[in-house]
Structure 1
Amino acid sequence: MLALLLTALMFSRGLSMDSRGTSFTTAFPENIAFYFPKTYNLLKITVLFNDTAVNITSLANGNSTTKSGVSNGTILTLNLTKDVEEYRFVPSNKSFRITSNKNITVLSVSGWEGRFQSHVVEPDQNLGTVYQVPLLNIQFTNNQFQAPATLLFNLRLMIINAADKDNTVTIKKVDPSGQSLEDKVTLGPLSLIQIKTNVSVKEINAEFNVSVILTHPCLDGINCSCNMVRSQLKPQSSGDQIATFPVPPIFNITQIQVTTKRPFRVAQGVYSVQNSITVYNSTDILPLFSNNLNQNFLISTSVPVTLHLISPGLILDIMSTSMFSGCFLVDFNSTQSGALVIANTSSTSGVQINDQPLASNVMWRILNGTGFSWAMVEAQQIGTIWHQTDKIGVYMIERLDIWTIYGSPAITLGMTPDRSGCLLNSENFVLGDDKMSWSLSREYCMETADELATLNTLDNQNKLSLYLAQEEVTDGWISLRRSLYSTNWYWKSEDHSPPNVTFTYWAYGQPEKPEKGLCASISLDTPTKFMWKSARCCSENKPVCFNRPKYFSFNKTVHQMLNGSSEESA
């Protein structure tokens, strides 16, 4: 059923490589026009790590909401009124800044009369200073969206200053005669401006990072339906690596708009110079493909670009394989929802939803010419879709009413696949800044990481060598020490792992007699192969700390309204 609903998808946003961050800047565009006064706006914040502190500040009134000591898996929701929406075309301070002491994700939700649309807010580190604005074919749009030309020409760009200082923004345009024009505006700290695109705006160029949202408050769709649309644009791409875009074949594709500022080559199928065509600027590239993607659902480009798939009622940023990840969070606000999953055909069995494999009745369909397959997966209100060994692509699909569906790429939680679950952070070793005793080193590591490093296997020893190979040459404490009673060596681990020593990596002549030292240090020097030696516990070395892998606790998700009430999900 969900596959049939996709033909009515409205407007979607782009996806960066990682949706997690500690600082976010966003705003709410006008929602469903002025004649629907009862609209709803929400900020939904997913906490990924224990003991997280979150602050939400409204720049318009200075109000600040803070929540401290929040646990992994908690969803914080802040309800906002229609007053937060910006409908004017003037500089404004109707923006929000969300900050935290540990990584979180932010979902912005707008709705009216039970219809909700979600929009993944990009963290500030994913923003940029240069944005190419997609060029919509107005004649096509008028015919397919069944909207008056005045509506289409009034698509808007909301430009939000993500810097805590004044930011000069240059708006580059082209008039009907082809003449280049520029407007400049200076935005105050975290302020915004909304402008009409008039299909003439080609580029946004800022002094410091900005967020750019393409939006319309009430774009006519089909059967007299009206829907707000918004798409957070991605900054101009850089690099020279080949990009590949698997395209789900369920869409009635009418255009594929590319945004770029430099010439590149594009191919249908696997990229090669022989089968590619040069494209010089932002344009619709669909006419370049002889079979209109009916036989081969892979687009390849010689450099990274942004592709917008356009279909009747649909504008969708297509995920390149470089944006595929090990784990995604799906967060739905309507009862008829699901996820579109793209995975390697040879490993579809590795796709998991929460802590279970996909249901046996999920039907995988091959994407010709790509090596990938796709499937529609019915999902819970919130959950994770992840893969044990490979990266996948996931889109969130929500039904708003009988005619209208909203879709967007899902929230990226973890880049690296892992057999144990939705991996947020891989295990790692960290060297402390200051020298201290063994006991103080243990306390330091318990406060700033998980524990003092335990090297009880050759694999752990080799991992530490890789992590700390570039550190300064010094000695560091590990969690190995002697018993005061028996003088036998044991591991002082904080995760209740066996204390007995089954693996050692002593340097020549080590360890020395107990009276020479009851604790063990490691030489952080590549030529000496990171070997161990005994040392007096009161002597000073740098602590070698270890962080265990962190996973998202999807089975312990708790919803908390920021007014104090909470509800735990099953």
Structure 2
Amino acid sequence: MFAILLIASLFCQGLTIVSYGDNFITAFPENIGYFYPHNSMEIIRVTALHDNTTFNVIYRGTQKTISISQSGETSAVTIQGSFEVNQLNQYNKSVRITSDKNITVVSYSCREDSVQTNVVQPTTNLGTNYLIPSLNYTELLASFTQFNSASGSMRYSTFKLLIINAVGNENNITLFKKTETDIEEETLRLEAYQLFQVLTNGSVVRVESSHEIAVILTHPCAETAGCTCNMVVNQILPTKFQGQNFVVPSILNTALTELLVATDQNTSSLFYNSTQLQPISNSSMLLPFPYLQTASQYLTASENVSVRLLSPGLIMELIPENMFSACYLLQFFSSKGQAFVIAETDSRDDVHIQDSPLSAQWTEITGTKYSSAIVTLNYQTAVIWHRTSRIAVYMLDSRNTIVFGGPAISINERPDYYGCVVMPGQFQVGNDKMTWLESREYCMTTTNQFACPINEDMLKDMTSNLSSQQGQVWIGLRRSLLTTELYWQDESENSPPVTYVNWASNKPQKLWRGLCMSMDPENEFKWKNARCCNKKKPVCYKRPNYLTPSQIITTSSW
């Protein structure tokens, strides 16, 4: 018999963003492709994080239900028809995805060579306050000297803003529009799950609502090199997800790369290598960033901001340092894509892809603790994760000469030594006292292993609900009989080294007092050694469930 000590809560969806959930809402913006009159094709890819998952795709009252049997499997729903939002004003063309268990969702829009992907954010990541980057399409193209100003009608020379009511009741929306002299407000009302599309050539600077909304900035055919164009999509995150520190990746044609920095503060100063750049005031500003011509760079703001990397045909949101995660799911449109990875230099060798260390050519980012690498992956679906610290990962895909992509799908902010966690581990304490060896056998029978608090975070999880009345307990740490070296009894082929300790004194007591380690709840859960034949209650641990993506993507059509 045993008592449950702690079941770690599912990952926090607070100010560190994770991109999974059980409720999503999105829409498919217009993908015109000047030279491609063929019908477009929309795709929704859903990856299950748990076995036996059922999800629904809902559009205009019609529902398609699909089941996924195993965690890590992906199901693609191909939609051909009139799902594109190609008209202004409001109407019912939102697409909802609901599930009985946690999933991730990526949408794809395809029209010949014009392809765009979008990581659809769960409704838990949506908000009621959005800062809209002031992008004027004509001025943007003019800033890239190889391009002429946009031609054609206003419809194709202006960015558009999609606002989607994410709740099943009426939602009041306020648009803040910039004029030559002031900020004007425009109000509208959306019914349940309705959307509204408006042209914005840098005019809409903020959107507020009474309930949660999704906001997507898009252009139907942004011009790229070679007299072609492709659709661009940027799902804007609410202001609560802004940050102050950014690693700006050097991943594109740096001669055609600029930064778009947006803030809602009165003034915000930007710094690069302690040099102050142009101040930003109550809106957004486009900045040439020639520093990217050599390597990735570190950018700091005095206030919270959002930063986007701009290049012809691409708008890519940057991940603030405060929103780095421990593991990411990557979904590529083709069977081969690229990952751009940012990790701490001292621990970059602990970055893994799937079950193996990531083989990469790392470049240190001057003046920071980080290094970056770009690697080509022969996977359509992959997991990149770190054993001990948080990282940033971007996924880049291409279609002929067109590059598209953005931040990878954040799964968990907390590192784990063995993989990308989708279901937290569970600690259990036995009811009966027994020897250390009996405790080990007991834990292997009831859960998987002894509790091995290999780092401070894991120790806090283990002890947060442990009562001091439990008395001293055994943990899975002991010394070798042959070498007297400490080791974790974690029953794995690749046992972690002992790099973290929590001794009651500076070091464990003399060896003659015991080779096995116990923990004392009455002394701040400090560790000390004891004779292995002494009897104490064991703390056992059931390992988490880890995400292992399947390369098989099942498809269905709507």
TM-score, normalised relative to structure 1: 0.71
Q: Using the TM superposition, give the Cα deviation of residue 142 of structure 1 relative to its aligned residue in structure 2, in angstroms.
A: 3.0
Q: Secondary structure at the match of 2:128?
A: strand
Match of 2:48 in 1: 47
Contact 2:264–2:305 (Cα < 8 Å) also in 1: no
Whole-angstrom CA distance in 2 between matches of 1:466 and 1:231: 38
Which ranges of structure 1 fall in alignment gaps of 5 or more residues?
1-14, 432-450, 477-494, 498-524, 530-543, 565-570
Q: Using the TM superposition, give the Cα deviation of residue 159 of structure 1 relative to its aligned residue in structure 2, in angstroms.
A: 0.5
Aligned equivalent of 1:427, options 425, 428, 431: 425
Contact 1:338–1:377 (Cα < 8 Å) also in 2: yes
Whole-angstrom CA distance in 2 between matches of 1:334 and 1:454: 38
Q: Does 1:552 align with 2:547?
A: yes
Match of 2:227 in 1: 224
Match of 1:415 in 2: 413
Q: Does 1:306 align with 2:306?
A: yes
Match of 1:510 in 2: none
Aligned equivalent of 1:169, options 162, 173, 178: 173
Whole-angstrom CA distance in 2 between matches of 1:339 and 1:16: 21
Q: Secondary structure at the match of 2:333?
A: coil
Q: Does 1:326 align with 2:326?
A: yes
Q: Using the TM superposition, give the Cα deviation of residue 299 of structure 1 relative to its aligned residue in structure 2, in angstroms.
A: 0.4
Contact 1:245–1:298 (Cα < 8 Å) also in 2: yes
Whole-angstrom CA distance in 2 between matches of 1:56 and 1:422: 27
The alignment-based identity, stated in percent, is 31
Q: Using the TM superposition, give the Cα deviation of residue 99 of structure 1 relative to its aligned residue in structure 2, in angstroms.
A: 1.4
Q: 1:416 to 1:28 in 2, by over 3 A?
A: same
Q: Using the TM superposition, give the Cα deviation of residue 223 of structure 1 relative to its aligned residue in structure 2, in angstroms.
A: 1.6
Whole-angstrom CA distance in 2 between matches of 1:292 and 1:465: 41
Q: Which has the higher strand share?
A: 2
Aligned equivalent of 2:271, options 247, 267, 280: 267
Q: 1:57 to 1:383 in 2, by over 3 A?
A: same
1:141-152 correspondence runs (5 A): 141-143=140-142, 144=144, 145-146=147-148, 147-148=150-151, 150=154
Whole-angstrom CA distance in 1 between matches of 2:466 and 2:420: 33
Q: 1:151 to 1:223 in 2, by over 3 A?
A: farther
Contact 1:30–1:87 (Cα < 8 Å) also in 2: yes
Match of 2:20 in 1: 20
Q: Does 1:195 align with 2:198?
A: yes
Q: Which amino acid aligns with 1:340?
A: F
Whole-angstrom CA distance in 1 between matches of 2:464 and 2:408: 36
Q: Using the TM superposition, give the Cα deviation of residue 115 of structure 1 relative to its aligned residue in structure 2, in angstroms.
A: 5.4
Q: Secondary structure at the match of 1:349?
A: helix
Q: 1:109 to 1:249 in 2, by over 3 A?
A: closer
Match of 1:243 in 2: 245
Q: Using the TM superposition, give the Cα deviation of residue 528 of structure 1 relative to its aligned residue in structure 2, in angstroms.
A: 12
Match of 2:529 in 1: none
Q: 1:285 to 1:346 in 2, by over 3 A?
A: farther
Contact 2:56–2:63 (Cα < 8 Å) also in 1: no
Contact 1:142–1:148 (Cα < 8 Å) also in 2: no
1:79-478 correspondence runs (5 A): 79-113=78-112, 116-143=115-142, 144=144, 145-146=147-148, 147-148=150-151, 150=154, 153-175=157-179, 177-237=180-240, 242-248=244-250, 251-252=254-255, 254-262=257-265, 263-269=267-273, 279-284=280-285, 286=287, 297-359=297-359, 362-379=360-377, 380-401=379-400, 403-428=401-426, 466-467=460-461
Whole-angstrom CA distance in 1 between matches of 2:65 and 2:216: 25
Whole-angstrom CA distance in 2 between matches of 1:392 and 1:180: 39
Q: Deviations over 1:491-533 (max 9, x none)?
A: xxxx999xxxxxxxxxxxxxxxxxxxxxxxxxxx99999xxxx
Superposed CA RMSD: 4.0
Q: Which amino acid aligns with 2:402?
A: T
Q: 1:200 to 1:120 in 2, by over 3 A?
A: same
Q: Which amino acid aligns with 1:25?
A: I
Contact 1:247–1:299 (Cα < 8 Å) also in 2: no
Whole-angstrom CA distance in 2 between matches of 1:186 and 1:122: 23
Structure 1 runs, 4 residues or longer, greater than 4 Å off:
274-278, 289-296, 451-460, 462-476, 525-529, 544-547
Contact 2:453–2:459 (Cα < 8 Å) also in 1: no
Q: Using the TM superposition, give the Cα deviation of residue 390 of structure 1 relative to its aligned residue in structure 2, in angstroms.
A: 2.4
Q: 1:295 to 1:91 in 2, by over 3 A?
A: closer
Q: Which amino acid aligns with 1:195?
A: V
Q: Using the TM superposition, give the Cα deviation of residue 137 of structure 1 relative to its aligned residue in structure 2, in angstroms.
A: 4.8
TM-score, normalised relative to structure 2: 0.73
Q: Which amino acid aligns with 1:134?
A: P
Q: Using the TM superposition, give the Cα deviation of residue 141 of structure 1 relative to its aligned residue in structure 2, in angstroms.
A: 1.7
Whole-angstrom CA distance in 2 between matches of 1:472 and 1:363: 44
Q: Deviations over 1:221-243 (max 9, x none)?
A: 2221021111101111378x743
Q: Using the TM superposition, give the Cα deviation of residue 467 of structure 1 relative to its aligned residue in structure 2, in angstroms.
A: 4.8
Whole-angstrom CA distance in 2 between matches of 1:381 and 1:152: 32
Q: For structure 1, which segment, 158-167 or 97-106, has the greater mean C-alpha deviation from structure 2 after superposition? A: 97-106
